[in-house]
C-alpha cells in the first residue's frame, strides 16, 4: 500500500548520500564541503568507511517517520498532491533518525543494529582489516553521526520556499532535535542517581526522547507544510504525545524483562536504564521492603540475586499495570485522531501504519 512512498524515500536517501558515495570513489567529490578533503586524504583507505555509512542508512529501517510525515501531508494537502516538493523534509527526518541511532548505539554500548553490526563495530572491524588501530571505531562513529546530522540539516533547507509554513516546519525539526538531545542528556544523568524516578518524571522523559522525536515532529511538519490550521496542529501534537508515551511503555516492558532475565551478563549501563522505565517504577513501588532491597542491590551489580529478582518480576502486577496505562493512552489518542479533519483514506493509511509499527515493536510484551 505504501510501496511507492517507500521507494520515493529510499531513492531520495540514495541521492542525499551521493556526497559520501562520491568521496569513496573519486578525488573529485561533487560536494563542495568535501572536495579539498578528498584531494588530500588517502581515498583507498577511506573508501570502505564511507561505504559503511552509506550502507548503514540504506539497509533496513521501517521509515516510520518520513512515512507519517508524507501521509499527513497528503491528508491535508490532498491525496493527489506531488510529494516530491516536500520530500526533502522526509529525508531530513530519516537522516536525523539515523544520526540518533548511531550515537545511541555508542551510548548504550550496543553491538548490533537492525540485525547487523552497529556502525562503530563495523568501523572497528574495517580498521583492523586494514592494519589500523581498531579502537578508533567509536571515534569515527561519533563523527559519522555528525556528518549524517549535517546532511539532515542540508536537506531540510531544500524545502521549497513557497510551501506554506516552511520556516515553521524547519523550526519544528530543529527544536525537536534540541529537545531530543536534552532528553537523552537528562536521562543519562537521572540513570546515574539512586532510587527510582516518579511517574511524572518518567513520562516527561518519554515525551522528550520518544513522543516529540518519533511522532509529533513528523506529523506536525507534514501538517504545517500542507497548510493545516493551528487547531489541527495542536491536536496532532497531543495525539503524538499520547502515542509516544504508550509506545515507550510497551517498549520498556519488553526491555525490562530482557534486562532482568539477562541480569548475570547485563552491562551496568543497561542496569541503570531500569531507573527511567515506568514498568520498573511500578515493580519497585508495589514491592515489599525486602523486594526493594533486592532490586537496589541487583542494580548495583550483585548478580547472585538474579533468581530472586526473577521471582519478584513473576509475582508483580507491574507489567499489567503498565500495559493498562498504555492502552488507556492509546484509547484517548484514538479519540483525538478520529476528530482530525484529514482525508479519510489517508487517515486509514496512517492508522494502519502506526498499528503495524506498534504490533512489530511490542510483539514480545
Q: What residue segments make up the domains of the chain, in order of their start?
A: 1-158, 164-365
pLDDT value at residue 364: 47
248-287 per-position pLDDT tens digit: 999 999 999 998 888 888 777 788 889 999 999 999 999 9
Q: Residue 246 contacts by C-beta under 8 Å, 6 or more apart in sequence?
A: 326, 327, 329, 330, 333
Q: What is the pLDDT of residue 361?
A: 64
pLDDT over 60 (residue 53) = yes
pTM, two decimal places? 0.89
Helix, strand, coil shares of the chain, percent, nearest 5, are 80, 0, 20
Q: How do residues 54-70 score in pLDDT, each as one tens digit?
A: 999 998 888 999 999 99
**75 closest CA partner among 301, 325, 299, 344:** 344
> Among 3.40.718.10, 2.40.128.50, 1.10.260.40, 1.10.600.10, what is the CATH number of 164-365?
1.10.600.10
Q: pLDDT tens, 294-346? A: 988 888 878 788 889 999 999 999 999 999 999 999 999 999 999 999 888 88
Backbone angles phi, psi at 229, to 5 degrees: -80, 170
How many Cα neighbours within 13 Å face the side chain of 145?
A: 19
- Place 363 in a pLDDT band, splitting at 50, 70 and 90: low
Q: Report the alpha-carbon distance of residue 187 to residue 244 in Å, rounded.
A: 16
Q: Which fold has domain 1-158?
A: Farnesyl Diphosphate Synthase (1.10.600)
Mean pLDDT of the region 174-197:
90
pLDDT at 242 over 50: yes
Whether residue 50 is predicted with pLDDT greater than 60 in this model: the reply is yes
Do 1-158 and 164-365 share a fold?
yes
Amino acid at each position: 500500500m505504501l510501496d511507492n512512498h517507500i521507494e520515493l524515500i529510499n531513492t531520495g536517501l540514495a541521492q542525499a548520500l551521493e556526497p559520501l558515495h562520491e568521496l569513496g570513489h573519486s578525488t573529485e567529490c561533487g560536494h563542495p564541503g568535501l572536495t579539498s578533503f578528498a584531494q588530500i586524504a588517502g581515498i583507498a583507505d577511506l573508501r570502505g568507511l564511507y561505504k559503511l555509512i552509506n550502507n548503514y542508512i540504506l539497509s533496513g529501517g521501517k521509515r516510520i517517520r518520513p512515512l507519517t510525515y508524507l501521509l499527513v501531508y497528503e491528508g491535508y494537502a490532498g491525496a493527489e498532491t506531488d510529494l516530491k516538493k516536500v520530500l526533502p523534509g522526509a529525508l531530513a527526518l530519516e537522516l536525523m533518525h539515523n544520526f540518533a541511532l548511531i550515537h545511541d548505539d555508542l551510548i548504550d554500548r550496543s553491538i548490533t543494529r537492525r540485525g547487523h553490526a552497529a556502525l562503530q563495530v563495523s568501523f572497528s572491524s574495517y580498521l583492523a582489516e586494514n592494519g589500523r588501530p581498531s579502537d578508533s571505531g567509536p571515534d569515527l562513529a561519533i563523527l559519522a553521526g555528525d556528518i549524517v546530522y549535517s546532511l539532515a540539516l542540508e536537506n531540510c533547507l531544500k524545502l521549497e520556499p513557497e510551501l506554506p509554513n516552511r520556516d515553521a516546519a524547519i523550526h519544528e525539526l530543529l527544536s525537536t532535535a534540541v529537545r531530543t538531545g536534552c532528553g537523552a542528556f537528562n536521562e543519562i544523568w537521572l540513570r546515574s542517581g539512586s532510587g527510582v524516578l516518579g511517574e511524572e518524571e518518567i513520562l516527561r522523559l518519554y515525551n522528550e526522547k520518544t513522543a516529540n522525536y518519533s511522532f509529533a515532529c513528523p506529523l506536525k511538519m507534514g501538517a504545517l507544510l500542507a497548510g493545516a490550521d493551528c487547531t489541527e496542529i495542536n491536536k496532532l501534537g497531543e495525539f503524538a504525545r499520547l502515542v509516544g508515551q504508550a509506545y515507550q511503555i510497551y517498549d520498556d516492558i519488553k526491555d525490562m524483562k530482557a534486562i532482568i532475565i539477562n541480569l548475570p551478563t547485563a552491562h551496568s549501563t543497561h542496569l541503570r536504564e531500569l531507573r527511567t522505565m515506568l514498568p520498573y517504577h511500578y515493580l519497585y513501588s508495589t514491592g515489599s521492603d525486602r523486594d526493594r532491597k533486592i532490586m537496589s542491590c541487583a542494580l548495583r551489580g550483585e548478580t547472585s540475586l538474579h533468581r530472586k529478582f526473577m521471582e519478584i518480576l513473576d509475582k508483580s502486577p507491574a507489567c499489567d499495570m503498565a500495559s493498562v496505562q498504555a492502552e488507556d493512552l492509546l484509547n484517548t489518542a484514538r479519540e483525538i485522531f478520529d476528530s482530525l479533519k484529514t482525508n479519510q483514506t489517508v487517515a486509514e493509511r496512517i492508522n494502519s501504519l502506526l498499528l503495524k509499527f506498534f504490533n512489530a515493536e511490542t510483539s514480545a510484551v
